[in-house]
Amino acid sequence: MTKNTRKEAPALPLNTIMSGDCIEAMNSLPEESVDLIFADPPYNLQLRGDLHRPDNSKVDAVDDDWDQFDSFKRYDDFTREWLKAARRILKPNGAIWVIGSYHNVFRLGAELQNQGYWLLNDVVWRKSNPMPNFRGKRFTNAHETLIWASKGEGAKYTFNYDALKALNEGVQMRSDWVLPICNGGERLKDDDGEKAHPTQKPQSLLHRLLVATTNPGDVVLDPFFGTGTTGAVAKMLGRDFIGIEREEKYRKVAEKRIKAIRKFDTEALTVTASKRAEPRVPFGQLVERGMLRPGEQLMSMNGRHKAKVRADGTLIGNDIKGSIHQVGAHLEGAPSCNGWTYWTYQREGKNVPIDLLRQQIRAEMN
């Protein structure tokens, strides 16, 4: 008997916060196991001295140990290592979001490209209520940049285009997002009533990007978990999360926060399906299945043009042969045409859009 020597892949620590360094933690996870990574890494702010408001009160800036690097080289080395670890655990069709300010985002973008990630968009998060520039020596720093990248060119990443359009009242979602910074009741406080974390991100930002680029049940990993904003929103939206955070005080805050979160009702989590995500039905299938017969005449929706169905699922009309789209475009003198919504067939004296037949086939597939 041959002995099975294959090692079992370690189980994913779903919906938990791993402690310690994110590079080691990611290296302990099975490869190609995560659908999406959201990373809000140290900014490497390089602050020189305290910053004060005009009334002399000290600005609560990011001057924590976790944000200190001796040099750009050190920061770049760190970036290279964590992005490499992230890449190993991403599924082939997974994607990554990184967020940063002008201090670090260009370094992050360059390293993403160096490693073969494929940049899909950069999104500007414009803060509707930014902190003023107290010294009055530069522009008010009113935005952060997010980079969205797939694992490589040609990867089939998730993008719920129609859901985002619905979220934006029927208008295509643009790459500039105006959202407030995290404050008010959402801002977590420690026992002394002080901010629990200097860079807690707003839930609205995570809501938008998780609805856009994941589906319920996906695994979302955040290697710089902080107060667990990613985990909190993932839980609400019915996604699984894995957090990694090296500071115990932040892990505690995040654990308490996430415990109190309730998942939204499952029905409410289903978002408008992207048309592109629906199964492809070749027109020829309608012919093969006898829904339309070779020789049958189709009429354009506007009643101006006719074409005949051929046995191979192409159309012939006015000396032009080709797909439902090509023939429609040619007859209309247009650069392109969606044949599914252009052509109709006759049943019981009525013109019926051929798209209804496609929908019938799709319904059988579900």
Residues that bind ligand SAM (CB under 6 A): 21-22, 40, 42, 66, 197, 199-201, 224, 226-227, 229, 244-247, 250
Select 66 or 118, whichever has its Cβ closest to ligand SAM: 66
Select 205 or 315, whichever has its Cβ closest to ligand SAM: 205
Rounded least distance, CB 222 to ligand SAM, Å: 7
Select 94 or 202, whichever has its Cβ closest to ligand SAM: 202
Rounded least distance, CB 220 to ligand SAM, Å: 13
Instruction: Round to the nearest angstrom and report the end-to-end CA distance of the chain.
Output: 43
Please, which residues bridge with residue 37 across strands?
Answer: 96, 221
Rounded least distance, CB 212 to ligand SAM, Å: 18
Q: Which residue is nearest to ligand SAM (CB)?
A: 226
Per the CB < 8 A criterion, the answer to whether 215 and 272 are in contact is no
Rounded least distance, CB 87 to ligand SAM, Å: 16
**Cα angle 49, 55, 57; round to 5:** 45
Rounded least distance, CB 32 to ligand SAM, Å: 21
Both tokens assigned to 209: 């990007």
39: exposed, middle or buried (C-beta count within 10 Å: 0-12, 13-18, 19+)?
A: buried
Select 75 or 340, whichever has its Cβ closest to ligand SAM: 75
- For residues 130 and 153, what is the distance between their CA atoms, to the nearest angstrom? 35
- For residues 90 and 213, what is the distance between their CA atoms, to the nearest angstrom? 14
Rounded to 5 degrees, φ, ψ at 17 are -110, 120
The DSSP symbol for 59 reads P
Select 165 or 195, whichever has its Cβ closest to ligand SAM: 195
